Amino acid sequence: MAADNPALEPPYFHGGANLSRCDTFVDQSATAVIFPVFLSLLFLISVCGNGLILYVICQRKHKCNSTSIYMLNLALSDSLFTLALPARIIYYSLNFNWPFGDLLCRITSIFFFANTYAGIAFMTCISLDRYLAVMHPQHLQSLRSVRVVRRVCCLVWALVTAETAPLLFLITRQHLLGRHTCMEFFNIEGFRATPHVVLLACVLSFCCPLVVIVGCYAKINLKLRAAAARNPLNGGSRRKHRANAITILILLTFVLCFSPYHVNVMQFMVRTILQMPTCREQRAFKVSLRVTVSLMNLNCALDPVIYFFAIKKYKQKVMSLFRGRLSASDFRSKTSRRESSGNGGEKSPRPHGEKSESCNQSSGN
């Protein structure tokens, strides 16, 4: 019966013929200005922050611990995404028109999703690492050894590669409404199971890590509160408080950057399963998707804040750079003040007698 009456079937099950007539590229003039500016700022912050952490960690190879190894891999995932930002900036500047061909579109898509899910995985690993350091400082420290941590990182990259490799074989660049788009997903054409697969992927790659991070923070916080209740003068060691601060920073970054995107996608997939999305709903989803993707991209600029509190050497390096810049600006301001006061203090030549009188008056005073 459904085959006899196409109106009963959602349009994306028929190759997207009706979807192709729905122009979801609204507010292009504003997007062509806002997105390039936003991504350019993101690029500069990410290059500086992640470049500095890579430099700091590589300088102290002999002092590698579990935290620094996870941070190094998190910075590497952010750096991969940063490499793809210039092409995305040009794409948005050209009103969603991709000029670089299909292969580069696929590669930038891989970098985008690799950064997202490697970032989520390594944030989860850091939270678990802090949990083990605070809750099991004696019994489970073997799980924080450099050898084990390196194996965990290799496993994470293997899983991320397995998740993103299929993008090499998918068509991510499409000719749509007179432009070549890149990575404009969620047309969900051709497969009835696509919404269910996307929902399952969101649950495994977002909901489960979120539960783990929240659980780690709750356990660490409860232990610190109990320690403070037993000994109000010294409620837990400084290291444990730092572990708690790192975990809450990760939780805040996770919620701010990744939650809007995944919640947005999940609600749309549920609505798609229940009822065919109208063109107006697709447009609203597309606009919200751009905003939530931008928030998700923000994680590569916020991760350096985590490094600042997690790695002492990184914090010292950042503070020394700021002190150097402040001292240089102070030196320049003092020099300019001296020059201006020197210029202002120059007076017209006076007769010798007047000058002596003035000096005598001052000495008399």
Q: How much is the pLDDT for 230?
A: 77
Q: How much is the pLDDT for 142?
A: 86
Q: How much is the pLDDT for 44?
A: 94
The domain ranges of the chain are 28-319
Q: How much is the pLDDT for 31?
A: 78
Q: How far apart are CA 100 and CA 65, in angstroms?
A: 41
Q: How much is the pLDDT for 360?
A: 40
Q: Taking the model in full, what pTM does it have?
A: 0.77
Q: How far apart are CA 144 and CA 134, in angstroms?
A: 12
Q: In degrees rounded to 5, what are phi and psi of residue 77?
A: -65, -40
Q: How much is the pLDDT for 25?
A: 64
Q: How much is the pLDDT for 26?
A: 62
Q: In degrees rounded to 5, what are phi and psi of residue 10?
A: -60, 145
Homologous superfamily in CATH for domain 28-319: Rhodopsin 7-helix transmembrane proteins (1.20.1070.10)
User: What b/e string do you get for 57-68 counting C-beta neighbours within 10 Å, with b at 16 or more?
Assistant: beeeeeeebbbb
Q: Encoding tokens for residue 339?
A: 């020059």
Q: Of 186, 189, 181, 212, which is closest to residue 199 (Cα–Cα)?
A: 186
CB atoms within 10 A of CB 117: 22
Q: How far apart are CA 269 and CA 130, in angstroms?
A: 35
Q: What are the tens digits of pLDDT across the range 146-162?
A: 899 999 999 999 999 99
Q: How much is the pLDDT for 189?
A: 53
Please check whether residue 307 is in contact with residue 317, taking contact to mean a CB–CB distance below 8 angstroms: no
Q: Which residues of the chain have pLDDT under 50?
A: 1-20, 345-365
Q: How much is the pLDDT for 362?
A: 39
